[in-house]
Amino acid sequence: MLPSLLRHPSAQEFLLEFQEEHLSELEFLLGQRERYIRDPQVHWPDVADLEHRIEAHVDAMRASGTVALELAREAMTGGDEAQVMAGAHVVASFQEQDGADGLGETILTLEETADDLLDVWEEVLVLSEHLRVAERVNSLLASARAEVRATAARILGRRHEGNAERILPLLDDASPEVRSAAVMALARLDYRPALTAVENLLQYVPISEWEPLTFAALCLGSPRALKHCRQACQAGGDLPSGFPRLLAMAGEERDLPLLQKLCAHPKLASQAIAAVGIMGIPSSVPFLIEHLSSDALEVRIAAAAALNLLTGANLYVTARALEEGADGDEPGRVVRLANMDATPWTQWWDGHEPRFSGSRRFRRGKPLSLGICVEELADPSSPFEVRERAAQELRIHSKQAIGFEPDWPIRRQRAAIDRWQQWWTDHRGSRPFRR
């Protein structure tokens, strides 16, 4: 019956329309995944349902062979970001057993694509589960285009795969973007032979490159990086916005006064307030409550979030938020926000302060340990930024290269969390939260 149906005059037109529907649905689902993975109101494990649907559409297109491949190729070489992502996602999935080197085609197209579309290709290859992505992307590290070299380094770093020895020469690249991408990749790959070069770079690169270099040096075990971070924060001035967080993640209790001083910095106030919460010292709670009365909304938001992070009080309020482009008459979805009213926070602290004695640092109402960071990775309600920060703290303090990225496919995230949980079970009590 099937061969006779395929000989029908309208068969090819039907098959093409069918694959167009698959591709259109892929555009939608990939866009939804990109939004949901970072949406604080969405529990991250729920993204797995989207990924299963994405896999089903890709499998259906691969099963359709040439018709689907040609359609995906056409989309991949277009100018619309959503279509490019969907098309590239399908083409990259075609393997030799399917009669096509889809990954090779994707790599060649990336090499020639416009600069403003390179981030699309980066996302496609970070998400791809093709076993040879790292092997094939390695070749792009030698591209004549700096933007492509940087994209290749970011892909390998975010995947925690690749040949670190081929990335290392990019630390001497003329492009700041390439150098920053390379140093982050080397840190994620735990390539400790790069440490001396990274520390040396910190001595002469512009301030704009300090943040990735300092973070990478901390991950690679540098004893000089924390000192550099402290000195930069003490100097103030045109400080990179991520430095308060770096100091909070890698520093010690004695760094609290410095972070509190940065809370008065005109450009860093909200970042410094958030860093005080990460530091987690109970004596800073009244300080954070005071900042709930700030004139700046972003400071109030940061102070309320920092209080919840430190205390685990979970003082939240609900509100309705309109979706972008929605009609003003629509009710909007319900969102949960940290309570920015100082009164309930003062009352809560008055009743619970005695609980916070006996330990110097707290996270979510518990004495801070790397086990708490593992809990933050695993908690279904942990937002993207929280899980990203927890993974960075684990990387800095554990000296392990287990790896974790909060935008990985959910299946890979779960596998990484399982490894972190097993590591913490094996090392519980022997790993203090400090360098």
Cα-based torsion angle of the residue sequence 251, 253, 256, 258 in order, rounded to the nearest 10 degrees: -60
Q: Quick check: 308 and 314 in contact, CB under 8 A?
A: yes
Of 130, 157, 177, which residue sits at a domain end? 130
Q: Which residue has the tokens 């916070």?
A: 356
pLDDT in tens, 268-281: 999 999 999 999 99
Q: Note the pLDDT of residue 323.
A: 64
Q: How many domains does the chain have?
A: 2
Alpha helix positions (H), 160-284: 164-167, 176-188, 195-201, 210-219, 225-235, 243-250, 256-262, 269-279
Residue 110 lies in a domain: yes
Read off the pLDDT of each residue in 219-224 and give the average, rounded to a whole number. 92
Residue 64 lies in a domain: yes
Of 108, 130, 152, which residue sits at a domain end? 130
Of 111, 130, 149, which residue sits at a domain end? 130
Residue 91 lies in a domain: yes
> Could you tell me the pTM of the whole model?
0.90
Q: Note the pLDDT of residue 87.
A: 94
pLDDT, averaged across the chain: 90
Residue 14: pLDDT band with limits 50, 70, 90: low
CA 382 centroid distance within chain: 13
Q: CA 146, CA 35: separation in Å to the nearest integer? A: 28
Sign of CA dihedral 6, 9, 12, 13: negative
Residue 431 lies in a domain: yes
Alpha helix positions (H), 312-379: 342-352, 370-378
pLDDT in tens, 172-201: 999 999 999 999 999 999 999 999 999 999
pLDDT surpasses 50 at 1: no
Beta-strand pair 366-367/362-363 = antiparallel
Residue 159 lies in a domain: no
Residue 13: pLDDT band with limits 50, 70, 90: low
Q: Note the pLDDT of residue 435.
A: 42
Q: Which domain holds residue 425?
A: 369-435
Residue 143 lies in a domain: no
Residue 93 lies in a domain: yes
Counted residue by residue, the chain has a size of 435
Residue 116 lies in a domain: yes
